[in-house]
Amino acid sequence: MKDQIIKWIEKYWKACIAAALTLSLCICVGFQLGGHDAGSETADASAEVKDNSSGEEENDSSAEAGTEEEKAGDTLDADTSSEAENEDASAGSGKDAEDSDQEKGTEESGMKKDAEDSDEEKDTEESAKDQESSDADKEQEKDGQSTTADKSDSKDSSQKKNDSGEKETSSKVPTNYQIKGVPHIYQMSEYPTGCESVSTVCALNYAGMDITVNDFIDNYLEMDNLYTDSDGKTKGPGLDVAFVGNPYSSNGCGCWAGAITKALYRMGLPKGYYLQNLNGVSLDDLCAEYISQDIPVIFWATGGMEISEGSMTWTNERTGETVEFKTSEHCLVLTGYDEDGYYFSDPMDYDESSYYSKDAVEKAHAYQGQQALAIVPEES
């Protein structure tokens, strides 16, 4: 741009000087032509004068032209300088504006990049958090599975009783199972009506306690007889309180789970065991929670799992309520089961293991009020 301005000044400066010289010459010629009419002397004088004048004028013109040239040059220089300054200023302003725009663009680009970087960082952080959350969820899931497995193993290895007497067990209950090594005692030769005591001693022996049926009956079992009062009413104890009659006699009656519970607490359970009342617990639960865990159950049903309508009644001497004793009552030890029936150590049977159909056992057990007891290891 500056080169163009300098070329322009050089071009027009010369033209201005040429124009000024031409104008001066024209003026001189005009004066000479006008002086010829006044005579030769005058002409000579005029010529001389004019020559002098012309010389002076020429000098003046030259000086004037020089001055004008200087002025023109100064003007051109000023204009050029002004234009150059303006152009420089404009260029500078433009450049500054361009630089400002570039800076703004750079700034905006930087801000945009920072924002993008920030978004990327946020995305990265969120992704990391999601990954951590996912890992934590997986870890928790693994921990939950591990805990569930531990609980399952714990349930498999030992049972825990709840308030109702039922126990938590593994869901994998075998479809058939029979406890091995449960002692069997035949009652008919010595204890014709003492099935409750015989079955209890079998369970105690299985738990490791060395006690005989005679010891149990003579020292711990409460027994009482029926009698007739002055009004002719037959009275006696409740079946949960004592054995009614004599278990050594064929004329004895029997007792319920409550009387056996009293005898066991009076005697004291084997070390490391507790007594669990299982009255009202279904056979399915008894098998799943106790039999499959090698815990035999003292079980009330009927002789031969046959239901007889015969019964005896009397008045409870303490409460005045009527007591009914169903003469087919029998107590035995539940030791196993399969899909069709149940295995028992039955004191009325010579064989160590007796088997009865599922339907017959369930009905006989319900007929006697679904009574049952278990001597359970404390670690179960």
Q: What is the pLDDT of residues 257-276, one digit of tens each?
A: 999 999 999 999 999 999 99
Q: What letter does residue 298 receive in the DSSP assignment?
A: E
Pairing of strands 234-236, 311-316: parallel
- Look at residue 170 and give its three-state secondary structure: coil
SS3 content of the chain, % helix, strand, coil (to 5): 55, 15, 30
Query: pLDDT tens digits for 81-117?
Result: 444 344 443 334 434 434 444 444 444 444 444 445 4
Q: Work out the pLDDT band at 2, boundaries 50, 70, 90.
A: low
Longest dimension (CA), the chain: 206
Question: Token pair 């000023």 is at which residue?
Answer: 78
| 144 falls within a domain | no
Please give the residue range of the domain that contains residue 114: 2-123
Domain CATH code at residue 345: 3.90.70.10
Q: Are residues 179 and 325 in the same domain?
A: yes
Q: Are residues 350 and 210 in the same domain?
A: yes
What confidence score (pLDDT) does residue 24 get? 61
Cβ partners under 8 Å of residue 287, min gap 6? 173, 177, 334, 337, 342
- Both structure tokens of 142: 């693994």
What confidence score (pLDDT) does residue 212 get? 98
Q: Give the residue from 57, 92, 123 where a domain finishes.
A: 123
- 32 — alpha (psi -120 to 50), left (phi > 0) or beta? alpha
- pTM of the model as a whole: 0.58
What own/partner pairs with CB < 8 Å and gap ≥ 24 does 34-42 have?
A: none
Q: Would the pLDDT of 10 be above 80?
A: no
- Both structure tokens of 219: 């020292």
Q: Are residues 207 and 348 in the same domain?
A: yes
Q: What total number of domains does the chain contain?
A: 2
Query: pLDDT tens digits for 223-244?
Result: 999 999 999 999 999 999 999 9
What confidence score (pLDDT) does residue 379 get? 85
| 149 falls within a domain | no
Cβ partners under 8 Å of residue 65, min gap 6? 17, 20, 21, 24
| 157 falls within a domain | no
Q: In Å, what is the CA distance from 34 to each residue of 43, 78, 170?
A: 9, 41, 148
Q: In Å, what is the CA distance from 293 to each residue of 285, 345, 370, 372, 379?
A: 12, 17, 20, 16, 12
| In the chain, % of residues over pLDDT 90 | 53
Consecutive H or E run containing 316: strand 311-316
What confidence score (pLDDT) does residue 69 get? 38
* CA–CA gap between residue 127 and residue 118 (Å, rounded): 14
Q: Give the residue from 123, 150, 176 where a domain finishes.
A: 123
* CA–CA gap between residue 8 and residue 90 (Å, rounded): 20
Q: For 300-313, what is the mean pLDDT? A: 95
105-144 in b/e burial notation, b at 16+ Cβ within 10 A?
eeeeeeeeeeeeeeeeeeeeeeeeeeeeeeeeeeeeeeee
Q: Would the pLDDT of 182 be above 80?
A: yes
Q: Which residue has the higher pLDDT, 43 or 238?
A: 238
Cβ partners under 8 Å of residue 330, min gap 6? 195, 300, 301, 302, 303, 304, 348
Q: Are residues 187 and 97 in the same domain?
A: no
What own/partner pairs with CB < 8 Å and gap ≥ 24 does 349-354 have?
A: 349/186, 350/186, 351/184, 352/184, 353/178, 353/184
Q: Are residues 294 and 167 in the same domain?
A: yes
Q: Would the pLDDT of 156 be above 70?
A: no
* CA–CA gap between residue 274 and residue 278 (Å, rounded): 13
Q: Are residues 83 and 166 in the same domain?
A: no
| 137 falls within a domain | no
* CA-based R_g, the chain, Å: 66
Q: In Å, what is the CA distance from 377 to each residue of 195, 220, 269?
A: 24, 22, 10
Q: Are residues 217 and 352 in the same domain?
A: yes
Query: pLDDT tens digits for 45-69?
Result: 333 333 433 333 333 433 333 334 3
CB 247 within 8 A of CB 217: yes
Within 10 angstroms of residue 239's Cβ, the number of other Cβ atoms is 21
Q: Would the pLDDT of 317 be above 90?
A: yes
| 346 falls within a domain | yes
Question: Among 187, 195, 210, 200, which Cα is nearest to 297's?
Answer: 200
Q: Which residue has the higher pLDDT, 44 or 284?
A: 284
Q: Are residues 11 and 76 in the same domain?
A: yes
Question: Token pair 């500078």 is at which residue?
Answer: 92
